[in-house]
Chain A
Amino acid sequence: MFHSLGKYILLLRLSFRRPEKFSVYWAEVMREMVSVGVGSLGIIAIISVFIGAVATIQTAFQLVSDFIPKTIVGGITRDSTILEFSPTISALVLAGRVGSSMASQIGTMRVTEQIDALEIMGVNAPGYLISPKIIAGVTMIPLLVIVSVILGLCGGYIACAASNDVSTADYVTGLTDGFNPVIVTVCAVKAIFFGFIITSICSYQGFYTDGGSLEVGQSATRGVVWSCIMILFVDLIISRLLL
């Protein structure tokens, strides 16, 4: 356990050594950003709308009382979407979509000796393979979370429009009432950490794959499982520290 942690930290340090040539690394960063960002937009859009809608319906259900103004539904949906649902659920889904593909890509390169080939050439393999992925993760995953928040709140609007528990006007008023900007900071911090966790843990698992195609699959699974555990753990820590 501590041995793995040490290896993980060492690998991260190797990853951020000075690149042989910036232009080549930059091209890799761009490629990863497109793959993470554009590639995950569809799934994030779909889950976000549903999450927002469900959050609104549940909140409305729990607050059936004539003494509570209906606008409060908008406020609670907003807070829970921005603070928890969007960043955390998006990250868990992205661990499955982005993380597993990163782990299996690097793992395949390991078992087919492509990583050895890089090292023979004098390329810093962790740097070339891992740093672009981490950079793409900590930039694109926060952007995806922003998209997720916006679509989640739209999902809530749709839920209000489709039923007559809460009027859309009440919902929109609720969204802006008593807005505390700190939740946006918390959301951004979470998203950046989650992006780092997913890309670094899955890259680590892939990089130290040993064996054949069976082990590549196992590395991907381990990468996703560990990412999910760490996402929820860090989620707790950040919530505790920043709220």
Chain B
Amino acid sequence: MIEIKDIYKTFGDNEVLKGISAIFKPGKNNLIIGGSGSGKTTLLKCIVGLHDPTKGDVIFDGENFTDMDFEQRVPIRTRIGMLFQNSALFDSMTVEENIMFPLNLFTKQTKAEKLDRANFCLERVNLTGKNKLYPAELSGGMKKRVGIARAISMQPKYLFVDEPNSGLDPKTSILIDELINELTEEYSITTVVVTHDMNSVMGIGDHILFLHQGKKWWEGSNKEIAHTDNQELNDFVFASKFMQAAKAKL
């Protein structure tokens, strides 16, 4: 479980986050949605410690992450998996080396064990046998899947995903969503996904935070979102004619 308490983040005199609190439960897909520039990525980076919040606390299973220094954070960090918007694979390493990288640094496993784990992770994301390819040789969707494989190699308790669907075709996009959903349920991971893809929201949104003007504007599940009378949320979710038509049928 991750708890965030009253998070503020200011860049210069640009106040991006203005007091956001929430609880993210294990085994659930927690979604952060909001318009472009609403501070979704900033919130995610504050949670994982890539940004220090100007004010507020992030608590991982009772441990206050914000107060810790670099070394104290390492044990929690090794339990965090993250999939970046552009996958952020290490491009000097092969697929297999990418996945084995955290194992090399943080475990005492033998080479064979690490290779087993890498193969298992690759199988899990449907990329069996792609071990020796370099990131430059992969398509966008494959990169995302390798990114997921790397994120789960250390058996994370927490999984963070920034815009998993950007730059993917709708079909691949749904496959990635399903994969994230399966992993979350199977290993009871606390998953936080930043997205503005409405298919994901409707498909896997167990718990949704809607950010607007730096605040938590609305919170609920994908079942509730269709019946909301919150004006800004309605404008955001049902912006397209297609979504309006879909809503009319509900």
Contacts and interface: CB of A to CB of B under 8 A. Distances in A.
Q: Is the interface of A mostly helix, strand, loop or mixed?
A: helix
B104 A120 contact: no
Interface in B83-117: 84-86, 88-91, 101-102, 104-106
Contacts of A20: 105-106
Interface string A89-132: 00000000000000000001100111011011111100000000
B84 A116 contact: yes
A113 B104 contact: no
Contact of A112 (B74, B88, B160): B88
Given A21-B104, A21-B105, A24-B104, A122 B77 contact: yes
A117 B90 contact: yes
Nearest to B92: A105
Which of A114, A116, A122 has the largest number of chain B CB atoms within 10 A? A122
Contacts of B102: 121, 123
Contacts of A112: 86, 88, 91
A24 B105 contact: yes
Given A24-B104, A24-B105, A113 B77 contact: no
Interface string B50-89: 1000000000000000000010011101101010111011
A47 B60 CA distance: 58
A117 B148 CA distance: 12
A120 B77 contact: yes
Nearest to B73: A122
Interface residues on A, range: 10 to 19
A121 B105 contact: yes
Nearest to B75: A122
Nearest to A123: B105
A10 to B, nearest CB: 13
Nearest to B154: A121
B74 A120 contact: no
Nearest to A27: B104
B82 A117 contact: yes
Contacts of B75: 122
Given A120-B50, A122-B73, A122-B74, A113 B90 contact: no
Contacts, number: 54
B229 to A, nearest CB: 38
A2 to B, nearest CB: 20
Most chain A beta-carbon neighbours within 10 Å: one of B73, B85, B88: B88
Interface string A62-105: 00000000000000000000000000000000000000000000
B85 A113 contact: yes
B48 interface: yes
A124 B90 contact: no
B88 A117 contact: yes
Contact of A114 (B85, B91, B160): B91
A37 to B, nearest CB: 18
Interface string B12-52: 00000000000000000000000000000000000011100
A130 B126 CA distance: 35
Contacts of B50: 116, 119-120
Contacts of B154: 121
Given A20-B106, A117-B88, 14 more contacts: A20-B105, A21-B106, A112-B88, A113-B86, A114-B89, A116-B84, A120-B77, A120-B160, A121-B102, A121-B106, A122-B74, A122-B75, A122-B78, A122-B80
Interface of A: 20-21, 24, 108-109, 112-114, 116-117, 119-124
Interface of B: 48-50, 70, 73-75, 77-78, 80, 82, 84-86, 88-91, 101-102, 104-106, 154, 160
15 contacts: A21-B105, A21-B106, A24-B104, A108-B91, A113-B85, A114-B89, A114-B91, A116-B50, A117-B82, A117-B84, A119-B77, A120-B80, A120-B82, A121-B77, A121-B80
